[in-house]
Structure 1
Amino acid sequence: MKNVAVALLILAGSIVSAQDKKAKDLLDEVTKKVKAYDNISIDFKYTLNNSKENVNQESSGTVVMKGNQYVLSFMGVTKLYDGKKLYTIVPEDEEISISKVDEKDANTITPSKMLTFFNKGYKFYWDIQQNVKGKKLQYVKLVPDDKKDKRKEILVGIDTATKQIYNVIETGKNGTKTTLVVNSFKTNQALPKNQFTFVGSKYPNYYINKLD
């Protein structure tokens, strides 16, 4: 019986290892496709829920990316990064903040990193499969390596047909759950030449705050 138990443990270990490799291979496919596009345009919905704190928020946004440049519009704020400087435009306050971005800093979060954030710092696990709105989604569960990370786990839902991320569900250790759902994912669009150029004349009455 002891030998049987040992054999079962070895078998189970090999299955888990194979599943983890499948998860990593699938995420690698997603990364490869993202890097192959000339540009990406996304419409998304974002929700935050914590039943204990009675918090339930929902908002939507858009982002256009090309290389390391992007324009992100979310919660009434537009962030434009031209590859050198980040312009944060807040119409409600009629204020624009201009700052530099250190892309080499691992803590710097950009929209492009959001599509490939899983490449470092996580353990990968093959999870459930679901059919959502006609899409066949394969979920990969990520568990942060850093024990101090406030996130318990992250589920990444990948459309098996397109190898594109459909949703990302983060569960915090405090019970907070945030969900990002991609409503529209367009690639290689014809973008205006000044898509990632800040044009100050559009904001004549805005206060300009140069942070560095």
Structure 2
Amino acid sequence: MKNTIGLSFVFFLMSITVLSQSNENAHVLLDAVSKKMGAYENMYIAFSQTLSNEDAGIKEGDEQPLKGTIYLQDQKYRLSYLGNQFLYDGKTLYVINRDEREISTSENDLSGDDGFIYPSKLLTFYKEGYNLKMGKISNIEGRRIQFVTLNPMDSNSEIVKVELGIDLANSHIFKLIQTGANGSKTTFTITEFRKNETLPNAFFTFNKAKYLSENYTID
């Protein structure tokens, strides 16, 4: 009996050690990705988004993927998504609805309260509020993708799991998968990436006069 208890304790300690190493390796990997991508002057990312929910009978691929593009520079971004443009100059967020010719403004970035990972925090969101562990390595489109699983510490979060897929060849984010508390799974895949482009000085500046001249309503 004593030997059995002793072996069980040893295996328990081994499992704790392996888990700790997995968590540490996950942090090391994401830190390396954040450091590399964060050092670029700016980034252009084109992406596709798919949605699935097995409980609701929605399979990935049932619908055409949504597509979007984003320019990132430090905390600033210019995101085209769902027919709108989101312009964040580091202080104010402008949501430009071209169809309705309306512009809403907010003194804050997109809210992260519901678990949404907003663009300005793409490279740093993992540092707070998540438990990390290394996931599987998958071959996707000829790439070796290392997944890292992030579980929110907040038990009330609408997102129960985030999976980041890292391209091991270049230490870039390739895929982000969010699983919601309702069973839905939203997958963002980077389809094009460019860095250090020459952008106009006012690229992330809201041109109020331009939109007023085009008869936009600004809230």
Global fold match (TM > 0.5): yes
Equivalent pair of 2:88/2:109 in contact (CA under 8 Å) = no
- Offset from partner CA, 1:11-33 (integer Å, 9 cap, x none): 12111111111011111111111
Equivalent pair of 2:112/2:118 in contact (CA under 8 Å) = no
Distance 1:60 1:174 in 2: 23
Give the alignment of 1:28-177 within 5 angstroms.
Answer: 28-54=31-57, 58-101=65-108, 107=113, 110-177=118-185
Larger strand fraction of residues? 1
Residues paired across the two proteins, number: 209
Equivalent pair of 1:95/1:208 in contact (CA under 8 Å) = yes
Equivalent pair of 1:87/1:99 in contact (CA under 8 Å) = yes
Given the two structures, how large is their TM-score scaled by the length of structure 2? Answer: 0.87
Distance 1:131 1:60 in 2: 23
For structure 1, the 5+ residue unaligned runs are none
Distance 2:81 2:109 in 1: 22
Given the two structures, how large is their TM-score scaled by the length of structure 1? Answer: 0.89
The residue aligned with 2:28 is 25
How far residue 134 of structure 1 moved from its aligned partner, in angstroms, is 1.6
Q: Which moved more, 1:32-41 or 1:136-145?
A: 32-41
For structure 2, the 5+ residue unaligned runs are none
Equivalent pair of 2:93/2:106 in contact (CA under 8 Å) = yes
Equivalent pair of 1:45/1:182 in contact (CA under 8 Å) = yes
Distance 2:6 2:54 in 1: 47
- Offset from partner CA, 1:3-60 (integer Å, 9 cap, x none): 1221111112111111111011111111111221111110001112223335565311
- Spell out structure 1 runs of 4+ moving beyond 4 A: 54-57, 105-109
Distance 1:102 1:96 in 2: 15
- Offset from partner CA, 1:165-210 (integer Å, 9 cap, x none): 1001111121100001011121111112221122345433333223
What RMSD, in angstroms, separates the aligned Cα atoms of the two structures? 2.1
Equivalent pair of 2:45/2:194 in contact (CA under 8 Å) = yes
Q: Which moved more, 1:195-204 or 1:113-122?
A: 195-204
Q: Which amino acid aligns with 1:190?
A: T
Q: 1:119/1:206 Cα in 2 relative to 1: closer, same or farther (>3 Å)?
A: farther
Give the alignment of 1:173-212 within 5 angstroms.
Answer: 173-203=181-211, 204-210=213-219
SS at match of 1:5: helix
Equivalent pair of 1:81/1:87 in contact (CA under 8 Å) = yes
Equivalent pair of 1:98/1:208 in contact (CA under 8 Å) = no
How far residue 130 of structure 1 moved from its aligned partner, in angstroms, is 0.6
- Offset from partner CA, 1:134-191 (integer Å, 9 cap, x none): 2111111111100101222111100112111100111112110000101112111111
Distance 2:87 2:76 in 1: 8
- Determine what percentage of the aligned residue pairs are the same residue: 35
